[in-house]
Structure 1
């Protein structure tokens, strides 16, 4: 597998682990529930491990921007669907801007390694 493809796969796994960790963070009820707290810690550790693998072939700024941006968007979606947390218009506009930034980086930036 080419290194840039492996980096993107590792970044995708890192994002999935970070989202799962954040979901378990909500389920941990401020660290009062042992199993969700343990799952959160494992997911965050895995997220940083896979992010470190992505950094073998991606610049830190690009990888972190994608990781955090996509993580914010998907976490907001999970919060709205799973936890019934509402998003107002400014939140939706901000999330749209994050998506736009990630798309611009991926489509037009030479530093993303595609």
Structure 2
């Protein structure tokens, strides 16, 4: 169960770091740049711990899928980016894919 918590921490840290990239303005602003560096360091550390128990393909599928959805949501919420029907449907498919992997795949670790 700790592996799933560590994967969650890794995903959140990566989402924070990726979202901070825009605010860093190409690493020209100090505090957002430090947030990006720290976020990615935390993300990769916790992902590396996660991979001790969760298969890499499964962990990466969940990491990437949830990361895409969360970063897109933050882009909409904070940066005012628009979402059209195709992007919402696409994200719903990503979430569905992650759920299918977790619920039905024999490769998962429960």
Shorter-normalised TM range: over 0.9
Q: Give, in angstroms, the shift of residue 110 of structure 1.
A: 1.5
Q: Which runs of 4+ in 1 moved over 3 A?
A: none
> Are positions 1:62 and 2:58 aligned together?
yes
Output the CA distance in 1 between the equivalents of 2:18 and 2:86. Answer: 22
Normalising by the residue count of structure 1, what TM-score does the alignment of the two structures yield? 0.93
The runs of 5 or more residues in structure 2 that have no matched partner are none
Q: How many residues align?
A: 110
> 1:72 is matched with which residue: 61, 68, 88?
68
The runs of 5 or more residues in structure 1 that have no matched partner are none
Q: How does 1:34-113 map to 2 (within 5 A)?
A: 34-113=30-109
Q: What's the RMSD between the two structures over aligned residues?
A: 0.7
Normalising by the residue count of structure 2, what TM-score does the alignment of the two structures yield? 0.97
